[in-house]
Amino acid sequence: MSVRERSPRHRPWSVYRANTFDLSSEMLGLTLAGNSQDPDEPVLEFSVACSELITPALDRKPNSFVAVSVTTPPQAFWTKHAQTEIIEGTSNPIFLSSIAFFQDSLINQQTQVKLSVYDVKDRSQGTMYLLGSAMFPVKELLQEKQHRLHLMLRSAENERVGNITIIAWQMEEKRDQRAPVPRLPDTINGRMVLPVDESLTESLGIRAKYASLCKDTLLKSVFGGTMSRMYRFPTTDGNHLRILEQMAESVLSLNIPRQFVKLLLEEDAARVCELEELGELSPCWESLRRQIVTQYQTIILTYQETLTDLHQYKGPSFKASNLKAEKKLEFMPTNLHIQRMRVQDESGSDHTYDIVTIGAPAAHCQGFKNSGLRKLIHKFEEAKKHSAVSSSQSIVYIPQDIVRAKEIIAHINTLKTQVSYYAERLSRAAKDRSANGLERTLAILADKTRQLVTVCDCKLLANAIQALNAARPEYIASKASPTAGDVDQVMLRNDQDTLVAKWTGKNSRSSLHVNWHEEEWEKVWLNVDKSLECIIQRVDKLLQKDRLQSDSCEDVFQCDLSSSSKKGNLESRAYWINPGCMEETNSSSSSPSPSSSPALSACHSPCDTREWSEALYPLLTTLTECVAMMSDKAKKSMVFLLMQDTAPTIAMDLSLQYRRDVVFCQTLTALICGFIIKLRNCLRDDGFLRQLYTIGLLAQFESLLSTYGEELAMLEDMSVGILDLRNVTFKVTQATSSSSMDMLPVITGNRDGFNVRIPLPGTMFDALPREIQNGMLLRVQPVLFNVGINEQQTLAEKFGDTSLQEIINMESLARLNSYYEQFKEVLPEDCLPRSRSQTCLPELLRFLGQNVHVRKNKNVDILWQAAEICRRLNGVRFTSCKSAKDRTAMSVTLEQCLILQHEHGMAPQVFTQALDCMRSEGCRRENTMKNVGCRKYAFNTLQLKAFPKHYRPPEGTYGKVET
pLDDT tens for each residue of 761-786: 999 999 999 999 999 999 999 999 99
Q: Is 636 left (phi over 0), alpha (psi -120 to 50) or beta?
A: alpha
Segment 650-659 shows an average pLDDT of 94
Residue that wins the pLDDT comparison between 570 and 95: 95
Q: What share of the chain is helix, strand, coil (3-state, %, to 5)?
A: 45, 20, 35
CA gap 928, 227 in Å, rounded: 13
pLDDT tens-digit map of 799-842: 888 999 999 999 999 999 999 999 999 999 989 998 988 899 99
Residue 514's pLDDT is 38
Does residue 303 contact residue 257 with C-beta atoms inside 8 Å?
Answer: no
Please state, rounded to an integer, the average pLDDT across all residues of the chain: 82
Closest CA to 178 of 186, 187, 168, 170: 170
pLDDT band with cut points at 50, 70 and 90 for residue 207: very low
Does residue 805 contact residue 788 with C-beta atoms inside 8 Å?
Answer: yes
Q: Is pLDDT of 584 > 50?
A: no
Residue 858's contacts (CB-CB under 8 Å, 6 or more residues apart) are 787, 788, 789, 793, 797, 948
CA gap 409, 631 in Å, rounded: 9
Residue 160's pLDDT is 94
Q: Which of 147-161, 632-646, 778-792 is predicted with the least confidence, judged by mean pLDDT? A: 632-646
Q: Identity (one letter) of the amino acid at 684?
A: R
User: Cis ω on the peptide bond leading into residue 74 (within 30° of 0)?
Assistant: yes
The per-residue b/e assignment along 313-323, b for 16 or more CB within 10 angstroms, e otherwise, is beeebbbbbbb
Residue that wins the pLDDT comparison between 551 and 426: 426
pLDDT band with cut points at 50, 70 and 90 for residue 388: low
Does residue 244 contact residue 40 with C-beta atoms inside 8 Å?
Answer: yes
C-beta atoms surrounding 644 within 10 Å: 23
pLDDT band with cut points at 50, 70 and 90 for residue 596: very low
The Cα-based distances of 239 to 24, 242, 808, 899 in angstroms read 8, 10, 43, 17
Give the pairing type, strands 728-734 and 753-760.
parallel
Residue 365's contacts (CB-CB under 8 Å, 6 or more residues apart) are 325, 326, 327, 330, 662
Give me the half-sphere count of Cα atoms (radius 13 Å) on the Cβ side of residue 211.
Answer: 20
Rank 155-169, 879-893, 930-944 by mean pLDDT and report only the highest: 879-893
CA gap 942, 947 in Å, rounded: 10
Q: Is the dihedral of CA 322, 328, 329, 331 positive or negative?
A: positive
CA gap 66, 135 in Å, rounded: 12
Helix (H) or strand (E) segment spanning residue 931: helix 923-932
Please tell me the total number of residues recorded for the chain in this structure.
963
Q: Which of 49-58, 140-149, 233-242, 555-564 is predicted with the least confidence, judged by mean pLDDT? A: 555-564
Q: Which of 343-352, 442-451, 530-539, 567-576 is predicted with the least confidence, judged by mean pLDDT? A: 567-576
Q: Is pLDDT of 924 > 70?
A: yes
Residue 51's pLDDT is 94
Residue 718's pLDDT is 98
Q: Is pLDDT of 576 > 60?
A: no
pLDDT band with cut points at 50, 70 and 90 for residue 493: very low
CA gap 60, 88 in Å, rounded: 11
534 tagged catalytic: no
The per-residue b/e assignment along 571-581, b for 16 or more CB within 10 angstroms, e otherwise, is eeebbbbebee
Segment 898-926 shows an average pLDDT of 95
Q: Is pLDDT of 1 > 70?
A: no
Residue 396's pLDDT is 60
Residue 727's pLDDT is 94
Residue that wins the pLDDT comparison between 432 and 294: 294
pLDDT band with cut points at 50, 70 and 90 for residue 475: low
Q: Is 505 left (phi over 0), alpha (psi -120 to 50) or beta?
A: left
Q: Which of 121-135, 222-236, 330-344, 651-665 is predicted with the least confidence, judged by mean pLDDT? A: 121-135
CA gap 196, 32 in Å, rounded: 6
pLDDT tens-digit map of 433-457: 888 888 888 899 999 888 888 888 8
CA gap 493, 470 in Å, rounded: 10
Give the pairing type, strands 728-734 and 186-188.
unpaired
Segment 220-248 shows an average pLDDT of 94
pLDDT band with cut points at 50, 70 and 90 for residue 566: very low
pLDDT band with cut points at 50, 70 and 90 for residue 726: very high
C-beta atoms surrounding 698 within 10 Å: 25
Segment 140-158 shows an average pLDDT of 91
Residue 601's pLDDT is 44
Residue 429's contacts (CB-CB under 8 Å, 6 or more residues apart) are 437, 438, 441
Closest CA to 668 of 285, 220, 449, 356: 356
Residue that wins the pLDDT comparison between 517 and 640: 640
CA gap 786, 466 in Å, rounded: 50
Q: Is 678 exposed, middle or buried (0-12, 13-18, 19+ CB in 10 A)?
A: buried
Segment 51-56 shows an average pLDDT of 90
Residue 410's pLDDT is 86
Q: Is pLDDT of 510 > 90?
A: no
Among residues 881, 897, 917, 923, which one is catalytic? 881
Segment 595-611 shows an average pLDDT of 44
CA gap 192, 32 in Å, rounded: 10
C-beta atoms surrounding 875 within 10 Å: 23
Segment 534-554 shows an average pLDDT of 72
What is the SS3 string spanning 276-305?
HCCCCCCHHHHHHHHHHHHHHHHHHHHHHH
Q: Which of 255-259, 364-368, 589-593 is predicted with the least confidence, judged by mean pLDDT? A: 589-593
Closest CA to 254 of 655, 581, 672, 648: 672
Q: Which of 240-244, 398-402, 869-873 is predicted with the least confidence, judged by mean pLDDT? A: 398-402
Residue 648's pLDDT is 86
Segment 210-235 shows an average pLDDT of 93
* Runs of H (alpha helix) within 15-151: 138-143
Rg (CA), the chain: 36
The Cα-based distances of 125 to 82, 122, 448 in angstroms read 21, 5, 73
The per-residue b/e assignment along 744-782, b for 16 or more CB within 10 angstroms, e otherwise, is bbebeebbeebebebbbbeebbeebeeebeeebebbbbb
Give me the half-sphere count of Cα atoms (radius 13 Å) on the Cβ side of residue 485.
Answer: 0
Q: Is 369 exposed, middle or buried (0-12, 13-18, 19+ CB in 10 A)?
A: exposed
Give me the half-sphere count of Cα atoms (radius 13 Å) on the Cβ side of residue 126.
Answer: 6
Residue 209's pLDDT is 58
Percent of the chain scoring above 70 in pLDDT: 80
pLDDT band with cut points at 50, 70 and 90 for residue 383: confident
Q: Which of 57-61, 160-164, 908-912 is predicted with the least confidence, judged by mean pLDDT? A: 57-61
